[in-house]
Amino acid sequence: MTTSTDVLATDPRAAHLAALDWVSGLAAAVPEDRMAGPTPCDEFDVRTLLAHLVTTVRRPAAIAAGTDPLAAPLVSEDVLDAPADAYVAEAAALHGAWSGPDAVELLDRTVRMPFGEVPVRVALWVYVNETLVHGWDLAVATGQPVEADPALATTALEVARRFLPAEPRGGPVPFGPVVTPAPGAGPTEQLANWAGRRR
């Protein structure tokens, strides 16, 4: 299992694609009558959460294409009519973008992220975490199973604890205080709790 001490030396592509696949399954199962419902991510209802998740696909797609990931807006408003379908389609397309012969070489290049410039492999681990946390948001909001693959979520939690300290939170750090996990919480829920999420 990957640990936080060696994560910078690893290839995050398989973890990222696994996270995308998990959320694609959740997105595909969201009924239309739940789209206006609330989510644990206070600023989004289900529809806008899905449209934000589309952005979290478009940004790594831009990295793979060698363009600026931050050109994609926080919420992909162009897909608001059918955000779940858009997520499933664009997440599937991303598999091809990261499997080409030049993709490995991309991992050690530098890319601009909201918090500064980092190697692409670090950026992808950030997107793994964001995908899983928002997947948990979506699962809770729509009454679906909240746990991704345990090994994947455990690794993501280790990464999150390294790159997102427990303090400070709020202000320039766009995460709430760490939430104590409920007894028996799985690693995906623990990851969401680390990001300040609660049911």
CATH code of the domain covering residue 141: 1.20.120.450
What is the helix (H) or strand (E) element at residue 46, kind and residue range? helix 46-65
Q: Please give the torsion angle defined by the CA atoms of residues 165, 106, 67 and 118, in that order, rounded to the nearest 10 degrees.
A: 20
Residue 172 belongs to a domain = no
Classify residue 53: in a domain, yes or no.
yes
Residue 103 domain flag? yes
pTM of the shown model = 0.93
Residue 191 lies in a domain: no
- Its sign, for the CA torsion 192, 56, 119, 93, is positive
Q: What is the mean pLDDT of the chain?
A: 91
pLDDT of residue 183: 95
Give the residue-averaged pLDDT of 40-69. Answer: 96
Q: CA 9, CA 161: separation in Å to the nearest integer?
A: 17
Distances in Å between the alpha carbon of 158 and those of 16, 41, 123, 127, 137? 15, 21, 15, 14, 19
Print the domain residue range for 140: 8-156
Domain count, the chain: 1
Express each pLDDT in 8-43 by its tens digit: 668 899 999 999 999 999 999 999 999 999 999 989
- What pLDDT, on a 0 to 100 scale, did the predictor assign at position 3? 43
Measured CA to CA, the distance from residue 48 to residue 44 in angstroms comes to 5
3-state DSSP assignment of residue 146: coil
pLDDT-derived band of residue 1, with 50, 70 and 90 as boundaries? Answer: very low
The answer, yes or no, to whether residue 6 has pLDDT greater than 80, is no
Specify if 182 maps to a domain.
no
Whether 46 and 18 have beta carbons less than 8 Å apart is answered as no
- Establish if 59 belongs to a structural domain: yes
From residue 99, how far is each of 43, 61, 96, 174, 175 by CA, in Å? 34, 12, 5, 32, 32
Q: What is the pLDDT of residue 4?
A: 44
Residue at 196 is within a domain? no
| Matching residue, tokens 């492999």 | 121
Residue 143 binned pLDDT confidence (cut-offs 50, 70, 90): very high
Quick one: pLDDT band at residue 166, thresholds 50, 70, 90?
confident
The Cα 176–Cα 59 span in angstroms is 23
pLDDT digits (tens, 9 = 90+) for 62-103: 999 999 999 999 999 999 999 999 999 999 999 988 887 778
> Residues near 5 by Cβ (< 8 Å), separated by ≥ 6?
none
